Amino acid sequence: MTANRYDTLDGWRGLAALAIAFYHLPVAHAFRDLSGWKNLEFFVDFFFVLSGFVICHAWGKRLLTGQDGIVFLQRRFWRVWPLHIIILGAFFLLESAKWLALQKSSGLGADPAFSGPTSVPALLSNILMLQSLNLHGTTTWNGPAWSISAEFWTYLAFAAVMLFARGRLAAMVLIALGGAAIVAIFSPIWLFATHDFGLPRALYGFFAGAITYRLMRLWRVGALAAPGLALEAGVLVTAGLWMALTGKNASSMLAPLVFAAIVMVFSHGTGAISRFLRSKPVQALGLWSYSIYLVHTLIYFGLRFGLVTVEKMTGWKLTFSGDGTLRIFTFGSDLANGAVILALLGLTVAISAYAYRFIEKPFMMMDGSAAKAGKRPEQVSMALR
C-alpha cells in the first residue's frame, strides 16, 4: 500500500477484468470442459467487494453533509457513465450495420437486428443505467454492463448509510445480509444472478467489502497479514479450491466472503505475490480494467456477426456450439484457436488502453482536482477507480 492507494488491489482489478474477458471469449478451448469454468463469473463479485472496500476507504470519512453526498454521486456517475454510454453507442452502430446488412441479404443467418437483447426499449434502459432492474427478462446490449448499473444504484445505498445511519457498521451488515437473503431465497441460480437479482447481489458484495474495511480499521486485523507470502498463498489456494468445487448451489453464496478475505490479505501487500501485483504490466491492466470489462464484449459482438456472415457466404463451418450471443467458434485446431484467443485478448487490452487514455482519463480530470494537486488522475483517491 502506498500513501493513499492499495496498489495490489489495483493489480487484482486488472487480472479479474482479464479473467472475465477470457471467460466470455467466443472461441473453443479446453478450459471450457473444466468443472469450475462457469465459476469465473464470480470475478464480478470480486469487483463488487473491491469497490466496497476502496470506496469506503476513500469516502467513508468524507460523506458528512448532503452536499458531500451530491458530490460523491456526481463523481461516481461521471466515472462510470461516459465509457458505458460510448461503448453502448458503438454497440448501436454495430447493430445498425447489422440491420442494413440484413436488409440487403436476409439470408445471412444472423439474429434480427434491434430485437430481443438489443431492442430499442432496452437501449433506453441502458442509457439510464436501469438494465439491472429486470425490465427485459434478460441481459441486454453490452451484457456485463448490468453490473455497472447495479453498482451505481449501490452507491446510493452507501451514501445513505454514511449520511443517515447512526450505526454505520450495523447498517452495512443489515444491507449485506438483506442482499444475500434476497438472492438466496428468490434467485433460481443462486449468486449467478445478473439482470434479475443483480442489484441485491451487488449490495451483498459491495457492503461485504465495505464491512471488511471498517473491521480492519476498528480491530486492526491487518496484523494477521504479517506472514506475507505464506498467508497470500494460503488464501489463494483456499479460494481456488472453493472456485473449483462450487456451482449453482448454496455454496455460491460464499463468493463475497471468499473475496473479502483475499482483499483483506492483499491490501497490505507484504508477500511475493503482492510484488507481482505491483509490477508495471499488472498495474497497467489495473488502470485499464474498467475499459477491459466494457470493451471486450463489443469486440466479441462484432466478431460473432462477422463470422456468421462468413459462414453463410462461404459455407465454411466455423460454429462449434450454441447460437446468438452464446455461439462459440472453432478455427480447425487447438493451435489456431489459441492464436485467435491471444489476438482477441491482445486487441481488447490495446483498445482498452486507448479508451482509458481518451475517454476515462479526461472525465476523471473534469473537476480539476487532479490538476490542482499536481497529480496524475490515477494517483487521486481510490474512489476514482
- Give 275-304 pLDDT, tens digit per residue: 999 999 999 999 999 999 999 999 999 999
104 vs 239: which has the higher pLDDT: 239
| Residue-wise DSSP of 276-345 | HHTSHHHHHHHHTHHHHHHHHHHHHHHHHHHHHHHHHHH----EEE--GGG-EE--SSHHHHHHHHHHHH
Please check whether residue 36 is in contact with residue 245, taking contact to mean a CB–CB distance below 8 angstroms: yes
pLDDT of 224 reads 53
Q: Mean pLDDT over residues 309-323, rounded?
A: 89
Distance CA 54, CA 385 (A): 8
Q: pLDDT tens-digit profile of 156-215?
A: 999 999 999 988 999 999 999 999 999 999 999 999 999 999 999 999 999 999 999 999
The answer to whether residue 371 scores a pLDDT higher than 50 is no
CA 232 and chain centroid, separation: 23
pLDDT of 347 reads 98
pTM above 0.75, yes or no: yes
The answer to whether residue 376 scores a pLDDT higher than 80 is no
